[in-house]
């Protein structure tokens, strides 16, 4: 099986559909034809690098990058121009957009902008045209030819979790001053349960107290989908223990962040996010957590669902 075929099956086997602003051409700023410019989004977030020792993978936090993201729906590409952090000054073009059920991936083959020993990249995002926000994860693989991460010792992956305001949303972003809001949504990431490494979709719940400025939340049902060489396909592995996190809002209550993050009650990490839409109708952000054995990094998007 060729490398591209294996990667395509890896993505499909995890139940992922390619997104990154797919279908944005439905607005006046879309790329549906004529001289219209493609939709553009600004995103920030967190980063981590996972390195294989031949059997296990250790993830450590890295320097996050910001990105200007544009979709060319006609040519089926996503262009990401990065600044700051580990991707500062780089532009990467992902091809092969495919979207379904609010989750999109791109970058199976033919992407440009890879450097050094990078030989493959993907982008997966949580996006819906009706939402005011989006989140996603960029994965850049450093593998040996014909291998699939995690392979031999020294193979690695750089993961960038991104989030921001949807480029097709035209309304205002406002926040309440004293409400307590609850949110439920999805997390899309990458990580390891200590023995199996791969895509890690999960559910997320967040409680935001706009009076006190406190934010608490949890990731649950953190699944692990990894490439099994013997099966020559994607296999669902053991779940990662639940992640809990707690932090505080900025003074204007539009953003939040924290470093009180645990997996199964242990470990460390960081998270950040922001509120989007009218009256903080949505939230999106990025999270990294590790306990030294299990690790997960990714982006999340959630809608307000107060009782």
Domain covering 3-304 in this structure, CATH number: 2.40.160.90
pLDDT on residue 232: 83
pLDDT tens digit sequence for 279-291: 999 999 999 999 9
What span, in angstroms and rounded, lies between the C-alpha atoms of 66 and 114?
17
Measured in whole angstroms, how far is the alpha carbon of residue 34 from the centre of its chain?
32
pLDDT tops 90 at residue 297: yes
pLDDT tens digit sequence for 236-256: 999 999 999 999 999 999 999
pTM for the full predicted model: 0.86
Higher-confidence position of 79 and 149: 79
pLDDT tops 50 at residue 21: no
pLDDT tens digit sequence for 107-156: 544 457 788 888 888 888 898 889 999 999 999 988 766 566 777 788 89
Distances (CA, A) of 202 to 31, 63, 171, 300: 32, 24, 29, 9
Mean pLDDT of the chain: 83
Query: Residue 46: enclosing H or E segment and its boundaries?
Result: strand 40-52
b/e 11-24 (16+ beta carbons within 10 angstroms → b): bbbbebbbbbbbbb
Specify the 3-state DSSP secondary structure of 86.
Answer: helix
pLDDT on residue 276: 97
pLDDT on residue 174: 96
Instruction: Centre a 10 Å sphere on the Cβ of residue 212 and count the other Cβ atoms it contains.
Output: 11
Q: What is the pLDDT averaged over residues 167-193?
A: 94
Query: Partners of 170 in the beta sheet?
Result: none
Split at pLDDT 50, 70, 90, the class of 4 is: very low
Distances (CA, A) of 238 to 28, 70, 152, 195: 45, 36, 22, 9
Interacting residues of 252 by C-beta distance below 8 A, sequence separation 6+: 175
pLDDT on residue 181: 97
What is the chain's alpha carbon radius of gyration, rounded to the nearest angstrom? 18
Higher-confidence position of 7 and 146: 146
pLDDT tops 70 at residue 33: no
What span, in angstroms and rounded, lies between the C-alpha atoms of 128 and 84?
27
Instruction: Centre a 10 Å sphere on the Cβ of residue 144 and count the other Cβ atoms it contains.
Output: 13
């Amino acid at each position: 099986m060729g490398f591209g075929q294996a990667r395509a099956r890896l993505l499909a086997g995890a139940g992922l559909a390619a997104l990154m602003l797919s279908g944005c051409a439905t607005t006046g700023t879309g790329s549906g034809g004529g001289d219209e410019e493609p939709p553009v989004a600004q995103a920030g977030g967190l980063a981590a690098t996972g390195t294989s020792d031949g059997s296990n993978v250790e993830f450590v936090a890295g320097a996050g990058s910001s990105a200007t993201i544009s979709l060319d729906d006609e040519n089926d590409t996503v262009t990401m121009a990065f600044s700051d952090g580990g991707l500062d000054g780089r532009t990467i073009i992902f091809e092969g957009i495919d979207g379904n059920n609010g989750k999109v991936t791109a970058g199976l083959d033919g992407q440009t902008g890879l450097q050094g020993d990078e030989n493959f990249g993907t982008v997966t995002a949580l996006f819906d045209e009706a939402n005011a926000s989006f989140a996603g994860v960029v994965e850049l693989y450093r593998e040996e030819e014909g291998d699939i991460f995690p392979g031999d010792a020294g193979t690695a992956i750089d993961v960038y979790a991104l989030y921001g305001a949807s480029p097709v949303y035209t309304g205002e972003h406002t926040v309440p001053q004293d409400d307590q809001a609850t949110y439920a949504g999805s997390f899309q990431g990458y990580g390891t349960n200590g023995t199996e490494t791969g895509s890690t979709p999960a559910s997320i719940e967040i409680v935001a107290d706009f009076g006190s400025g406190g934010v608490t939340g949890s990731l649950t049902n953190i699944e692990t989908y990894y490439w099994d060489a013997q099966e020559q396909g994607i296999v669902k592995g053991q779940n990662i223990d639940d992640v809990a996190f707690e932090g505080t809002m900025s003074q204007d209550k539009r953003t939040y962040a924290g470093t009180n993050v645990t997996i199964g009650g242990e470990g460390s990490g960081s998270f950040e996010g922001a509120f989007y839409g009218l009256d903080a109708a949505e939230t999106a952000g990025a999270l990294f957590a590790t306990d030294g054995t299990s690790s997960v990094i990714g982006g999340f998007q959630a809608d307000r669902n107060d009782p």
